[in-house]
Amino acid sequence: MPEESTSIRPIEIEREMADSFLEYAMSVIVSRALPDVRDGLKPVHRRILYSMYDAGIRAGTPYRKCSRVVGEVVGWFHPHAPEAVYDSLVRLGQDFALRYPLVDPQGNFGTVDDDAGAMRYTEARMASLGMYLLEG
Contacting residues for 46 by C-beta, under 8 A, at least 6 apart: 39
* Mean of all residue pLDDT scores within the chain: 90
Output the pLDDT for position 127: 96
User: 78 exposed, middle or buried (CB, 10 Å; 0-12, 13-18, 19+)?
Assistant: buried
Sheet holding 64-65, edge to edge: 64-65, 123-126, 103-106
Q: Which residues pair with 65 in a beta bridge?
A: 123
Report whether pLDDT(118) > 90.
Answer: yes
pTM above 0.75, yes or no: yes
Report whether pLDDT(134) > 90.
Answer: no
**For the segment 53-96, what is each residue's pLDDT rounded down to a tens digit?**
999 999 999 999 999 999 999 999 878 789 999 999 999 999 99
Output the pLDDT for position 65: 97
Output the pLDDT for position 105: 96
Output the pLDDT for position 1: 59
User: 115 exposed, middle or buried (CB, 10 Å; 0-12, 13-18, 19+)?
Assistant: exposed
Active site residues: 121
Output the pLDDT for position 30: 80
Question: Architecture of 41-133 per CATH?
Answer: Alpha-Beta Complex (3.90)
Of residues 14 and 31, the one with the higher pLDDT is 14
User: Closest Cα partner for 42 from 7, 112, 92?
Assistant: 92
DSSP letter, residue 64: E
